[in-house]
Amino acid sequence: MTENIKPTKARYTILAAVFINVVINYMDRSNISVGASFISEELGLTTIQVGYLFSAFGLAYALSQIPGGYLADKLNIRYFYSFCLITWSIATVLQGFIYSFIILLVLRIFIGLFEAPSYPLNNRIITKWFPDNERAGAIATYTSGQFIGLAFLTPALISIEHYLGWRALFYITGGIGMVWGVIWMFFYRDPSDSTKINEAELLYIKNGGALVNDTTSNKQKDTVKFEWKNLKKVLTKRKLWGIYLGQFGLGATLMFFLTWFPKYLIDYKGMNFLQSGFTASVPFIFAFFGVLFSGFISDYMAKKNVSVDIARKTPVVVGLLLSTCIVGANYTDNPFWVTFFMSVAFFGNGLASITWVFVSLIAPKELIGLTGGTFNFVGGLSAMIVPTAIGYLVSDGNFEPALIFISSLTLLAALSYIFLVGKVERIK
């Protein structure tokens, strides 16, 4: 009978909700970059202190990735994700009340701590809900939320700051996250528990490789126990280090755009505040198209039986190489050409952003969450290291060394995918 029933499309509703999670996630981690110039002026911060402020999030985010990945394997996705959303959103709101650099630093740490499990959770959700040959497109879609959300939100956030002050940024963005956290708790269900999915769709995604009844299900979650040998496994495989180092280089470019970019346009390229808002949105739009093109062309090649190595690795390697173009902005002060080089670089970053598909394809299937946490931990180190490094590199008023630094890291990331990852296959 199932063969004659048209499958539902419940997985796409779930994907839309995960997309919203990502938009809120990146809005709350990057809103401080919009307010950085005014915050540093009011609190009297140096570029080095601003770098520490940007990196405080990355420190907590990176150090919490492995435990966050473990909890993503063990805890109920519905309630745990809701808890994280609401908690980091409360910390976001509180930033609007501070007058102290230290307290702001602590709140950024709290946001990083509670956002840490989000991407391992996103990956678990997509691995549960999508078959193998649709997974890169699904990952590309939700990953695009970090770009398209900021592309359209950045001008809005700058307008809020311009008319209402920088503190309103945190009240509004944090409030949105708190409301959505409650909605998520009532909305989300795993495939086996959802009333929105019919048996035909459930069978389709299960036969396609979705881990519908994996170890995070309610009946089996108690069997997932932390063992040091599992951590050793995910830390000693060359293939996994290839994607870990690639993620660090990918994150270097992303961290520049999420932290220093607005301040770079205003303080180092001489743009006015409102002009910088619209200029800053253009590279995010290019990144959005890059990540969508990457995911869907990768899935298209996979469905056409192109080898998984070509279908999955080519967009990532090409994208990372394009990201090295960011250094071109060192050679011009013309707003058009600055925007051009930044847009090419961020398009490349978007093109390379389906890297989470390698966690789904390479990680031992019982350790996808732990592998994802380790993967995001190494990638998250870029959020800790890069903003602070930039703060030191630009302390003499010259931003050129910072862009050379970012370009070099993305080149190393491309080389890691070429020489370390090797054949794309699951580790037993």
Measured from the Cβ of residue 195, the count of other Cβ atoms closer than 10 Å reads 7
Of 360, 67, 405, 44, residue with least CA distance to 255: 405
CB atoms within 10 A of CB 260: 26
Q: How would you write the pLDDT of the chain (428 residues) with one tens digit per residue?
A: 445 678 888 889 999 999 999 999 988 887 888 888 788 888 888 888 888 888 888 888 878 877 887 788 788 889 999 999 999 999 999 999 988 899 999 999 999 999 989 988 998 898 888 887 788 778 878 877 877 777 777 778 888 887 888 899 999 999 999 999 999 999 998 888 888 888 888 888 888 777 776 644 444 444 446 677 777 888 888 889 999 999 999 999 988 988 888 888 888 887 765 566 677 788 988 988 887 788 778 878 877 777 777 888 888 999 999 999 999 999 998 888 999 999 999 999 989 988 877 887 888 777 777 887 788 788 878 888 898 899 899 988 899 999 999 999 999 999 999 898 877 778 77
With 0-12 / 13-18 / 19 or more C-beta atoms within 10 angstroms meaning exposed / middle / buried, residue 207 is exposed
Token pair recorded at residue 96 = 């609007």
Q: What is the dihedral of CA 375, 378, 384, 385, to 10 degrees?
A: -150
Burial class (CB in 10 A: 0-12, 13-18, 19+), 255: buried
DSSP secondary-structure letter at 7?
P
Cβ–Cβ under 8 Å, residues 349 and 253: yes
d(Cα 419, Cα 340) in Å, to the nearest integer? Answer: 30
Q: Quick check: 348 and 283 in contact, CB under 8 A?
A: no
Transcribe 245-260 into DSSP letters: HHHHHHHHHHHHHHTT
CA distance 257 to 208: 36
CB atoms within 10 A of CB 305: 8
Supply the DSSP string of 394-415, one letter for each residue.
TTTS--HHHHHHHHHHHHHHHH
Alpha-carbon dihedral of residues 146, 149, 152, 158, nearest 10 degrees? -80
Residue 223: what pLDDT? 43
- How far is it, in rounded angstroms, from Cα 406 to Cα 393? 11
Number of H helices, E strands in the chain: 19, 0
CB 290 within 8 A of CB 350: yes
Q: Looking at residue 1, what is its pLDDT?
A: 44
How many CB atoms neighbour CB 418 within 10 A?
15
Three-class SS state of 386: helix
In order of start, what are the domains of the chain with their CATH numbers? 10-211+228-421 (1.20.1250.20)
- pLDDT of the residue at 302: 75
Q: Which of 114, 95, 109 is nearest to 42 (CA)?
A: 95
What integer pLDDT is reported at residue 160 of this predicted model?
Answer: 85
Residue 326, pLDDT score? 95
How much is the pLDDT for 231? 78
The full DSSP string for 143-163 is HTHHHHHHHHHHHHHHHHHHH
Smallest Cα–Cα separation from 389: which of 374, 402, 375, 370? 402
pLDDT value at residue 9: 86
The pLDDT value recorded for residue 218 is 42
Record the tokens describing residue 8, joined without a space. Answer: 């539902």
- C-beta separation of 7 from 199 below 8 A: no
Distance from C-alpha of 160 to C-alpha of 153, rounded to nearest angstrom: 10
pLDDT of 348 reads 95
